[in-house]
Structure 1
Amino acid sequence: MKYLLQNLKVTINDKIYVKDPESSALGKRIIENSILMIDEIGFESFTFKKLGEKIGSNESSVYRYFENKHKLLLYLTSWYWGWLEYQLVFTTNSIADPKEKLRKAIEIITRTIVQDSSFSHINEVLLSKIVVNENSKSYLTKEVDKENKEGYFSIYKRLVTRLKDMIVGLDSSYMYPSSLASTVIEGALHQHFLKDHFSSLTDCDKEHTPTLYFTELVFNALKNTSNV
């Protein structure tokens, strides 16, 4: 999969950006350093002025790529979900058994992220931390319905649908496949957050991982899936 991903370009809705950051060295520096800065100081404290100073460029140069920092966050979260989707598709495509396919999909979605050398300007480990901590800020806004209609969340929704289809493929009688799929994806973020910040509120730790928890949760919900 490593070699397949080397030429991968995650396609983001072009309404999210003014100019595609993947189209230039400056754009890639904006993405690379925005990830580093948001991880370091948080999204609330992050500004285009600070980013411009960090990359040695004018604040206005950042605005040539993104209208505001909300759009930048939408870009980063969309890229993450697209990257995760490609991993899921490549890894599960050759698995015929529906139970094993679903098990592997849950693992990919819920596991702790490791660095992917295929993208030199994107630190996936730090980006995953940003998604865990900041993802809800990309859609908990007054503009969410408008942005949804414009397709801003299409990659995320497509990932949920892929997992839902695998659930249906294993147990077509289950009444809540979309709810279960979205619960796994959102719940994985929440459990990783709790594990890192509110450990008394979760049973997940280094030994009892979110992957183990959600694997048990999903298969216990479905019929004819004993001996998980």
Structure 2
Amino acid sequence: MEKLLSSLKIEVNPLIFLKNPESSELGKKILSTAVIMIDEMGMEQFTFGKLAKVLGTTESSIYRYFESKHKLLLYFYNWYWAWVEYQIVFATKNVSPSANRLKIALDILCLQEKQEHEEEGISMIHLKNIVISESSKAYLNKEVDVENKAGFFLSFEKVVKILAIIIEDIDHNYPYPNTLVSTCLEGILHQQYFAKHLPSLSDVCKDTGKLPEIFYQIIINNLNQKK
């Protein structure tokens, strides 16, 4: 699977960027450097001016790729969920029963990156940290309806649909698969954030490896409820 995944090229909605950052060395450096800076300082403190200074380039050159840091965050958001989609699809292919597919998918979603590695020049540890702490800012804004119509959240929606189909295979009578999945996906991210920063809100502060089983039980228990 790793060999197959390494040969894949993640594609991000072209409306998110002005110039494809993968098309030039500067663009690739913008991605590889920005993902670290956003993780370390947060979106509020991160600016294109600070990024330009680290890269030894001009702020205007960065604006040729992204019109705002919000669009850069959307790029990372889409890139991450597209990567997760590929992992789940390959890992669950030809797996049965559907409950096993659900367990595999949850393992992938709850995975903590423990060793530094890069995909297409992007640090996966820093990217996962950004998704955990910053990704809600990608859609909690006044432009969400316009951005949704432009397809900026399709990568996340595809992951939701994959898991919703698995849930429907387990219990085709369950009426709320998309609601259950989207709630659990956000819950997985929140619990990882709470475990690190707001430990009184989590029971897995010392062992986030328990999250796959916790959310598996949440899903299965919901399916087992009397309709």
Cα distance in 1 for residues equivalent to 2:213 and 2:163: 17
The Cα offsets for residues 74-105 of structure 1, whole Å up to 9 and x where unpaired, read as 00111011111111111001213111111111
Match in the other structure for 2:214 = 213
- The Cα shift of 1:161 comes to 0.6
Cα distance in 1 for residues equivalent to 2:3 and 2:83: 14
From the superposition, tell whether residues 180 and 126 of structure 1 become closer, same or farther in structure 2 (CA, over 3 Å): same
- The Cα shift of 1:67 comes to 0.6
Cα distance in 1 for residues equivalent to 2:101 and 2:184: 15
TM-score by length of 2: 0.94
- The Cα shift of 1:20 comes to 0.7
Match in the other structure for 1:222 = 223
Amino acid of the structure 1 residue aligned with 2:212: T
Match in the other structure for 2:23 = 23
Judge conservation of contact 1:115–1:123 (CA < 8 Å) in 2: no
Larger helix share, 1 or 2: 2
Cα distance in 2 for residues equivalent to 1:3 and 1:207: 30
Match in the other structure for 1:110 = 110
Cα distance in 2 for residues equivalent to 1:185 and 1:216: 14
Q: Are 2:206 and 1:203 aligned? A: no
Match in the other structure for 2:138 = 138
Judge conservation of contact 1:204–1:213 (CA < 8 Å) in 2: no
Judge conservation of contact 1:81–1:155 (CA < 8 Å) in 2: yes
Match in the other structure for 1:54 = 54
Give 3-state SS (helix, strand or coil) of 2:172's partner: coil
CA RMSD of aligned residues (A): 1.5
Match in the other structure for 2:127 = 127
Flag as ranges the 4+ runs of structure 1 deviating above 6 A: none
Cα distance in 1 for residues equivalent to 2:115 and 2:25: 21
How much identity, in percent, do the aligned residues show?
A: 44
Judge conservation of contact 1:5–1:118 (CA < 8 Å) in 2: no
Q: Are 2:98 and 1:74 aligned? A: no
Amino acid of the structure 1 residue aligned with 2:71: K
TM-score by length of 1: 0.94
Judge conservation of contact 2:18–2:66 (CA < 8 Å) in 1: yes
The Cα offsets for residues 151-201 of structure 1, whole Å up to 9 and x where unpaired, read as 011111111111101100111111211111101111100000110011111
Amino acid of the structure 1 residue aligned with 2:56: G
Judge conservation of contact 2:117–2:125 (CA < 8 Å) in 1: no
Amino acid of the structure 1 residue aligned with 2:109: I
Judge conservation of contact 1:81–1:156 (CA < 8 Å) in 2: yes
Judge conservation of contact 1:110–1:185 (CA < 8 Å) in 2: no
Cα distance in 1 for residues equivalent to 2:33 and 2:73: 13
Match in the other structure for 2:173 = 173
Amino acid of the structure 2 residue aligned with 1:220: N
Match in the other structure for 1:94 = 94
The count of residues paired between Structure 1 and Structure 2 equals 224
